[in-house]
Structures are given as structure tokens and as C-alpha cells.
Structure 1
Amino acid sequence: MNLNAFKFGLACAVSTSLIWVVCSFLVLVLPKIMLSISGDMFHMQLANIGWHLNIIGALIGLAFWVVATGFTGWLLASIYNRLL
């Protein structure tokens, strides 16, 4: 079964954008809890750092991750199709 590499990459990009928006919203609404969770995920103590979230930074991050995951999804599907 071949995967459509473009559609798979697009699905990755859309999924990432949804997760990014939800995560950014949670950082905005619950900054201390999200900082604690992020520190736990990276095995680091981040309590003294704090968030510096603004709309421009959130949009730049969104654009970067959408492009990066879209390309990665396309690449994975392309490699998968060649391995069949």
C-alpha cells in the first residue's frame, strides 16, 4: 500500500498546527502549570525562567513547526513508499 506523500505531509502539518494552538492557549491561560509540565518533560527545572509568549512569537513558531512537520511527514511517506 502506497501512501500519498503530499497528503500525509499535509496531515502532519495540520495536526501540528492544532496541537500548537492548543498548547499556546494553555501557556497563555495556565503559564505556571505549563512551565512545570514542560520542565518535567525535559527533565529540567524551568520555574525560574518563565514564559515570554506574544502573538508574533506564537505565529512564527506555528509557521516553523507546520513547515518542519509537513516536510518530515512527506519525507517519511516518500521513504516508506520506496521501501515497499
Structure 2
Amino acid sequence: MKLDAKSLAISFGIVTAVLWTVCSVLVALMPGPMMSMTEHMFHSDMEGFSWTLTWTGFFIGLVSWTVWAAAAGWLIGWAYNRFASSNVA
């Protein structure tokens, strides 16, 4: 079975764009709880830090994360196809 690397790249990009948007909306609506969740995820104390969410930052993050995720999806598809068709066990 082969993976379509282009379709995988598009899927990764779309999912990442949706997750980035949801995360940004949550940060805008609930900055305190989202900072608390981030502290737990990073096992750190971020007292003194605050969110800086601007439209420019949102769009730069959206584009850059989407592009990198799509590239990762394509690379995963390419690598899978490369190694699945070889005799590497």
C-alpha cells in the first residue's frame, strides 16, 4: 500500500490550521485557564508571563505552522512509500 504524499500534506496542513485557530480563539477568550494549561503541559511556572495575541501574530503563526505541518506530512508520506517498497525490515 502506498500513501499519497500530497494528500497527506494537505491533510496535515488543514488539521494544523484548524487546531491553530481553535487554540488562538481559546487564548483570546480564556487567557488565564489557557496559561494554566500551558504551565501544566510544560511542567513549569509561567508567573509573570502573559499572552500577546495580535492579528499579525495569529496569521504569521497560522501560515508558518500550516506550511511546516504540510511539509512534515509530505515527508512522512514520502518516507513511508520509500521504506514500505524496499526490503528494509
TM range (shorter): over 0.9
How far apart, in 2, do the equivalents of 1:73 and 1:44 lie?
A: 30
Does residue 1:68 correspond to 2:68, yes or no? yes
Could you tell me the percent identity over the aligned residues?
36
- TM-score normalized with structure 2 length: 0.92
Are the counterparts in 2 of residues 9 and 72 from structure 1 also a CA contact under 8 Å?
A: yes
Normalized against structure 1, the TM-score is what? 0.97
- Size of the aligned set, in residue pairs, is 84
Q: Cα RMSD (Å) of the superposition?
A: 0.6
2:11 is the counterpart of 1:11:
yes
CA positional deviation for 1:30: 0.1
Gaps of 5+ in 2: 85-89
- Is 1:43 the counterpart of 2:43? The answer is yes
**Deviant stretches of 4+, over 4 Å:** none
